[in-house]
Amino acid sequence: MSWDLRGIQQLAMAREQQGGGTPGSPPPFDIMSSAAGRSSAPDSDSLPASGGTLPRGAILTHLSSDELPLSGSRLLLAAARFAAEKHRAQRRKDAEASPYINHPIAVAATLADAGITDVDILAAALLHDTIEDTDTTAAELEEHFGSAIRALVEEMTDDKSLDKAVRKELQVEHAPHASAGARMIKLADKICNVRDVAASLPPDWPRARRLEYLDWSARVVAGCRGCQPALESAFDRDLVRAREQLAAEERGDRDSVLRPGGPS
């Protein structure tokens, strides 16, 4: 599946088919249409390279006052646009330097694939890195999306004033005490990152660092268990595949050294 606006529309359509949306929503908009500026640099383990933001209030002006509060497809589309604008200048640290927005869309789609239809959880998944990795404030999210979504995003947000090692340990400690919705988003986030670490992220990470990331992710997910079996099973499968992929790479490197004409 291509992680573009069509993917978000499919999430929204699934929500409306279950009675959670509002028929007759406005036509889709271009989520990459506005200008972007500066933001703080994200954590290296979050894997974008640089950041972009808009002035406050410049994102949701396409909505008239009678279209608020947002719900169903309008909410998901607004969250997608907001996240795309906030992350516009950011890139993942994969070989292709893919747009960062691909990641939150993939997290939301992973939740939908597991049968999650709660629109607040899906919208929060789209927005889950905005406070941590851009200049978005909690108050801004609450103004546009309400207190429930703001609270979920805050649960997903690390305190970047702390050392990275401390932040990672706090994720492990906090996971068992997070709300069910935040634990689901955390599971989906770790699923996507584990897949990326095995497949393509990032080219300058040595195998030992990638294995360390897999081990740490498993520790975080241990505290998220009991909230959504399908997500937990997906993480377990992808973790096994990631470990097998790294083991295969190690065997391939060893074989290339042992072969005649291989590296000395």
CATH number of the domain bearing residue 223:
1.10.3210.10
Residue 219: inside a domain, yes or no? yes
For residue 165, what are its two tokens? 């090692």
Q: What is the DSSP string of 172-195?
A: HHHGGGS-HHHHHHHHHHHHHHHH
Residue 229: inside a domain, yes or no? yes
Residue 263: inside a domain, yes or no? no
Residue 119: inside a domain, yes or no? yes
Residue 264: inside a domain, yes or no? no
Give this prediction's pTM: 0.74
- Determine the pLDDT at residue 84: 97
- Determine the pLDDT at residue 61: 38
Series of mean pLDDT values for 10-residue runs along the chain (264 residues): 49 50 37 32 41 42 47 92 96 86 97 97 98 96 96 97 97 98 98 89 82 97 97 98 90 55 44
Report whether 14 contacts 118 (CB < 8 A).
Answer: no
Pure H helices in the chain: 5-17, 72-86, 102-113, 119-127, 130-133, 138-145, 147-155, 164-174, 180-199, 207-222, 229-258
Residues with catalytic function: 132-133
Domain interval for residue 102: 5-258
Residue 129: inside a domain, yes or no? yes
Residue 103: inside a domain, yes or no? yes
Number of independent structural domains in the chain: 1
Residue 251: inside a domain, yes or no? yes
- Determine the pLDDT at residue 53: 40
